[in-house]
Amino acid sequence: MTLSPREKKDLTNWQKGYEGELHFDELTRPFESTFLLLQDLLLKNHSTTFQVDTLLITPNKNYLFEIKNYEGDYVHDDDKFYHLPQSEILNPLHQLQRANALLGQLLTRHGITTPFESYLIFIHPHFTLYQAPQHPSIIYPTQLSSFLRKISPASNPLKGHHRKLADTLTTLHDPNPVLPDLPAYSFDSLQKGIYCLQCSSCSIALKGRSMYCEKCGHIEEFSAAVLRNALEFKQLFPSNRITSTSIYEWCGEIGTPRRIRTVLEKHFAIKGRKRGTYYV
DNA sequence: CCTAAGAGTCTGCGGTGAGA
DNA sequence: TCTCACCGCAGACTCTTAGG
């Protein structure tokens, strides 16, 4: 669908944020084997919901990380952050302090009083902050690798209370993510077709058993592409039934309904018989 | 070249809805 | 309310083709 400029901006921001978290996940992967690493926690203290990007539990210290994938030029002035040339953004330090405070209160209510060291991580290599404050909680891109190196492997192992902390947080985590305000869409209003997995173009041609991207040359099995689209259909239209014709239409009437049916039969459970058959 | 998996074709079943 | 044409689907069978 065609997005409005505002929606495009939101989409870019979400993508950027997500990419930043993925990047940080990569950097903290070595810690997984020795420490407890919790990512993307959605927690609730009384009626206040808050999100925690990454929590790292080590034998010596617990860390709370807020990841920001800001790119380009920013300025810090009078306790405020601006994206140059002039738009003010939410102060990420305040977000970090809020998450830390709420996390502390939540854990205290569950009988855990362990402190967390909280850090604001600016992860994008092309991030510049003019008049950058020398704040002990801020880690700039050029400091990141040395900062992570300092979280050295501890000589003493994790104990029961560390696991209890992780278990408590995992139990308190709300698995239903808060969805951003999505633009209104319907089946009829969206462009149908299979897009290329590699370059996202819609210039896809069916050649034998494969889908061939005329733009980048990427080849994907027909069945894999249909399955991908069927899962996408399920995500976008949870109340719509998956039928061979609905997916055939959703895929831009590529192949034949019979071929689509074969793919659905293989990857989904069939409900009903004859007319009215659908897949779950 | 052979084999097996996948795709195409044909036929019949069952639900739906229009018209008598 | 009943009948019948139409549509969407499954199942059986045949054909095709990718990959070893």
pLDDT at A115: 85
A198 C-beta less than 7 Å away from strand C: no
Rounded CA-CA distance A20/A145 in Å is 15
Give the tokens for residue A230.
Answer: 């069927």
Q: A169-202, pLDDT tens digit by residue? A: 999 998 877 666 778 887 777 887 878 777 788 7
Find the mean pLDDT for residues A71-79: 92
Reference A23, options A98, A119, A121, A150; nearest CA is: A121
Give the tokens for residue A68.
Answer: 């920001």
The domain limits of chain A are 5-172, 204-279
pLDDT at A277: 62
Q: Is the pTM above the cut of 0.85?
A: no
Quick check: helix, strand or coil at residue A99?
helix
Contact predicate A67/A20, CB 8 Å: yes
Residue A70 pLDDT grade (very low, low, confident, very high; cuts 50, 70, 90): very high
> Residue A268 CA to nucleotide B10 C1', Å?
25
A170 C-beta less than 7 Å away from strand C: no
Rounded CA-CA distance A167/A161 in Å is 10
Residue identified by tokens 């990427």 is A218
pLDDT at A55: 94
Greatest Cα pair distance, chain A, in angstroms, is: 69
Q: Are strands A138-139 and A117-122 parallel, antiparallel or unpaired?
A: parallel
Checking if the pLDDT of A40 tops 70, the result is yes
> Residue A274 CA to nucleotide B4 C1', Å?
28
A259 C-beta less than 7 Å away from strand B: yes
A258 C-beta less than 7 Å away from strand C: yes
A223 C-beta less than 7 Å away from strand B: yes
Q: Which CATH number fits domain A5-172: 2.40.10, 1.10.10, 3.40.1350, 2.60.120?
A: 3.40.1350
A256 C-beta less than 7 Å away from strand B: yes
Contact predicate A45/A52, CB 8 Å: no
Residue A245 pLDDT grade (very low, low, confident, very high; cuts 50, 70, 90): confident
A92 C-beta less than 7 Å away from strand B: no
> Residue A199 CA to nucleotide C16 C1', Å?
31
Q: Which helix (H) or strand (E) holds A125?
A: none
